[in-house]
Amino acid sequence: MFRYAFTHRHAFNLRHAFTLRHAFVSALLLASAHLYAAESSVDIETAAKVYQDAAVREQVRASLGSMPEHIRQLFSADARAHLSEQQLALVTAAAERGFRIDVFEAPALSALAANLDPVTVKKTEAFLATDLGRRMVAADVATATLEEAKIDKIMNGEITAPSTPQRDLLFDKLERATRSTESTVQIFLSMGKAVAIGTAVGAGRDPAAVEEDARKSGDASRAGLEQNMREPLRRYLAYGYRDMSDSDLKHLLAFLQSPAGKRYVSAYIASMGAGFDAMGKRCGEQLGESLRELAQAQQSAVTLNPPPLIAAPSPANPPDPATPADPSK
């Protein structure tokens, strides 16, 4: 429903070191800081109708095409990893298999259904059917499908929409009502953890230590991430809704601050979190398995065919998923 979920077509650093360009993954990264307990859920078909009317699929799909290259760049830039070209090719292939709409949708729809209730669905559908609701969704889709270079400029403040102090205040309230910064940071960290855990599982390693390390790293970096992301997200909102009047924004804010609006935001965030976690885990599992198989093949080759006059080296341990071993060493 809300475009800010899909502003993150920029790669996230798996070690959680934030830069403006790298923080915004794939048109949309979300998760919930305070999910509302579902008093009564709805069925998948009902959730799918809301999902369709909010054009979620179009927005998420727009974010996925650039993910493999972004993930490869991040692994390539990791000074601790020293990945070979062969290993980086495995990173790209794993991201291609993991970050797909079919991997996203099943868990996303299940989470959406579990966190909605009939009253919220009725009021949300009524809002989406209004002229303002339809224009909001159209703006969401249009912004989600912008070229990445333009999104960069919008978030950096190089491209701006005309504004006034009153309008700036409305966008500040809108950003906070949707919890866009907090939820974006949460999913940013959660998806990175999912990739790390998936990599450990795929490599046949105990994921518990990896999960704990990711949790500590996330806790340490959360405040800085939120501080760096809040203003770029507000700029993105302002640009995306630049054609809406102040009256339109007030009506949108009124819906978001209503009980049904708050419940819908929480359900939507839970849905995005579940979908992106699933994609991150799938990517990690594929990568961990591929790196393990590559390491085993290289160890066999070295053991069976040692260079003349040089004893065959002892087989190395499988690479740590966070810092794959350089096969040349």
The tokens for 137 are 């969704």
The amino acid present at 201, given as its one-letter code, is: V
Secondary structure E strands in the chain: none
Is 45 a residue whose pLDDT tops 90? Answer: yes
Confidence at residue 194, expressed as pLDDT on a 0 to 100 scale: 76
Token match 């085993």: residue?
Answer: 296
The tokens for 229 are 């992301």
pLDDT digits (tens, 9 = 90+) for 3-14: 433 444 433 333
- Per DSSP, the residues of 45-110 read HHHHHHHHHTTHHHHHHHHHTTHHHHHHHHHHH-TTT---HHHHHHHHHHHHHHS-HHHHHHHHHH
Report domain extents, the chain. 3-29+40-296
Which H/E stretch holds residue 219? helix 207-240
pTM over 0.95: no
Angle at 53 between CA 51 and CA 55, to 5 degrees: 70
pLDDT digits (tens, 9 = 90+) for 227-267: 888 999 899 999 999 999 999 999 999 999 999 999 999 99
Question: Using CA atoms, how far apart are residues 70 and 139, in angstroms rounded to an integer?
Answer: 25
